[in-house]
Structure 1
């Protein structure tokens, strides 16, 4: 069941807002870069960081509580948030050295291990 609706990202004011069961939720996130709804678990994925590229992936529940905070995988940098039909919420990460001919890779979230799993090249 959908619990998060109308996610609004205000990068300038470092805040996100959304509706949850008819109530507005709003939180400030220092260093906010991007945010998206994770459609399989109904969490909010947030990339943050004071520089370029973002250096932290925050996973929030539908109330805005922090569930996990992840760093980029070794050898990669966060690039942007995405959704994939098989794995749900995902993050595209880039590497300087191509792997199997690709620099951009889609990583899914393994909630049980609090880690990112390389899924496929990002197209």
Structure 2
């Protein structure tokens, strides 16, 4: 597992993303307006283009029916692909528009003002 220095926090514009090549893999790293950091695959599986780092960050509420019949409402921060506009949950990589599609998501940490990314899957942590 590699932990790689990507950039400083100020190198990523709030509500924006950057792309980094880590061990031959393109990874999109995003910063929200409240300085939350996320990392997912940069490859948009619908267009087969490495463009997700250029997508638009947004938020929505996702409703999920639980086994007991109740409904859970969770706020989700997503990236919308700049090509066909499919939305991907930044925390999990799950496509919000097609439940059969999921990207890998990665651990991001901040060491002082240094943004660090680990290729270890964030959901496995």
Same fold (TM over 0.5): no
TM-score bucket (shorter structure): 0.3 to 0.5
TM-score (norm 2): 0.32
Higher helix proportion, which one? 2
TM-score (norm 1): 0.32
